[in-house]
């Protein structure tokens, strides 16, 4: 018996587009090797995905066109309308610089891309989409929500040992003859706060031995704003003389400099405490501020973008107590460590001196001074005590006129730094 051949109507993709197949009529798109079914009204018919379409996500995937911040997607076939629940995938061909929009070629309407940040929807920021990254999106009826990336981390990679910075903080504080003790706060992570800092201490008074920092009783605790604590170091024998000082150093690991207090990137931090006579009696020199690693906000970076260099921390999406009791899963997301995050605890720990006597003044030497970076490099190379001595002896002086309009820690005066033997 001779086989019977049945041939359906069809043609190239453009020829099929020009047809309006009758209800229940099947036509074949020979360009895309895809059948289309008619309803008597839809031009070109309604495409039916093949197994090959499904395997290569042909109906949802597109390499991004347009510009870095205004993406276009050529999806075949073009959806009839924007409908909540639509999904898609794309590969970026450029790194975005600001918020991002998306358009499907042939479909009216431009939509804004959003991301979930701290439990709320937000526009994308520069570097959220990077060149070569692969992304999934979900249309929620209003916006295109980025739901995941190829590596489930926004294109981010883990922070490695080479991404960490080892810094040194150097400070000193007065020893009062009445007690033999001076007060200070550890800058960076400390023995009672974390596990990174190593601690070296010595007195510049030859009659005193090195001091310990063991807490003997609750009176040794130094209460700070916001419930934070520092503590008093205890000398093993009373330091003689009313105006001697004790210096200390600490080394700590950081992962998120540089710092910007709102006026631009700073070169470092030199805090001094001045007595009523205008003398510097205590100081601290470091490339990170006291609020950075002592407050409740965790600014340690766990990931970074390999393109932009931006660093991110892992935070938990907020859940209510009832949700947790009902067994809700803990969800974490990556949040960029912005200057706002790094300075979140500035109001809690505005300076490293703890409780300051009413007639004493805390001053932050101009953090925008371009000489600070050289001083901090010298300090990290082991010259911290020289800087402290220069502050105590007056080789580095503090201008008594406050810098107006500067952003920084509350209650802390900012002033110019002067060198005694320099014209600057």
Give me the residue spans of the domains in the chain. Answer: 9-48, 54-155, 161-299+342-419
Mean pLDDT of the chain: 74
Structural fold of domain 9-48 = Seminal Fluid Protein  PDC-109 (Domain B) (2.10.10)
pTM of the model: 0.54
DSSP 324-359: HHTTPPP-EEEEE--HHHHTTTTTTS-STT-S--TT
Q: What is the pLDDT of residue 130?
A: 79
Residues of the chain with pLDDT under 50: 150-154, 176-243
Q: What is the pLDDT of residue 84?
A: 92
Which DSSP letter does residue 204 get? Answer: S
Distance in angstroms (rounded) separating the CA atoms of residues 151 and 155: 6
What digits encode the pLDDT tens for the residues 23-57?
A: 999 999 998 888 999 999 988 888 888 888 777 77
Which DSSP letter does residue 77 get? Answer: S
Q: What is the pLDDT of residue 193?
A: 31
Distance in angstroms (rounded) separating the CA atoms of residues 282 and 290: 15
């Amino acid at each position: 018996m001779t086989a019977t051949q049945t041939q359906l109507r069809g043609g190239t993709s453009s020829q099929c587009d020009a047809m309006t197949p009758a209800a229940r009529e099947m036509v074949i798109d020979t360009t895309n090797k895809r059948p289309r079914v008619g309803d008597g009204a839809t031009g070109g018919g309604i495409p039916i995905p093949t197994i090959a379409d499904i395997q290569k996500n042909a109906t949802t995937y597109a390499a991004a066109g347009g510009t870095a911040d205004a993406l276009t997607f050529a999806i075949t076939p073009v959806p009839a309308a924007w409908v909540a629940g639509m999904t898609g995938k794309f590969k970026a061909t450029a790194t975005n610089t600001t918020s991002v929009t998306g358009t499907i070629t042939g479909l009216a309407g431009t939509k804004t891309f959003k991301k979930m940040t701290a439990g709320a929807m937000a526009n994308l920021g520069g570097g959220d989409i990077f060149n070569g990254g692969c992304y999934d999106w979900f249309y929620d009826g209003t916006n295109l929500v980025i739901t995941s990336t190829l590596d489930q981390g926004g294109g981010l990679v883990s922070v490695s040992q080479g991404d960490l910075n080892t810094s040194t903080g150097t400070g000193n504080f007065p020893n009062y003859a009445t007690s033999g003790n001076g007060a200070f706060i550890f800058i960076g992570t400390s023995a009672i706060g974390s596990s990174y800092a190593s601690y070296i201490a010595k007195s510049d008074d030859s009659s005193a031995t090195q001091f310990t920092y063991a807490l003997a009783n609750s009176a040794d605790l130094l209460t700070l704003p916001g419930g934070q604590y520092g503590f008093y170091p205890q000398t093993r024998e009373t330091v003689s003389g009313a105006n001697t000082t004790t210096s200390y150093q600490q080394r700590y690991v950081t992962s998120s400099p540089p710092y910007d207090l709102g006026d631009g990137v700073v070169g470092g931090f030199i805090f001094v405490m001045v007595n009523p006579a205008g003398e510097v009696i205590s100081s601290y020199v470091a490339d990170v501020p006291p609020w950075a690693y002592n407050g409740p906000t965790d600014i340690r970076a766990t990931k970074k973008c390999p393109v932009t260099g931006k660093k991110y921390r892992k935070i938990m999406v907020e859940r209510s107590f009832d949700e947790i009791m009902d067994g809700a899963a803990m969800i974490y997301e990556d949040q960029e460590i912005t200057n706002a995050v790094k300075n979140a605890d500035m109001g809690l720990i505005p300076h490293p001196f703890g409780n300051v006597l009413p007639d004493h003044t805390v001053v932050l030497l101009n953090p925008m001074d371009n000489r600070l970076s050289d001083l901090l490099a010298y300090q990290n190379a082991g010259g911290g005590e020289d800087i402290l001595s220069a502050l105590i002896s007056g080789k580095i002086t503090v201008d008594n006129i406050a810098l107006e309009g500067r952003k920084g820690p509350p209650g802390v005066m900012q002033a110019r730094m002067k060198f005694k033997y320099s014209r600057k």
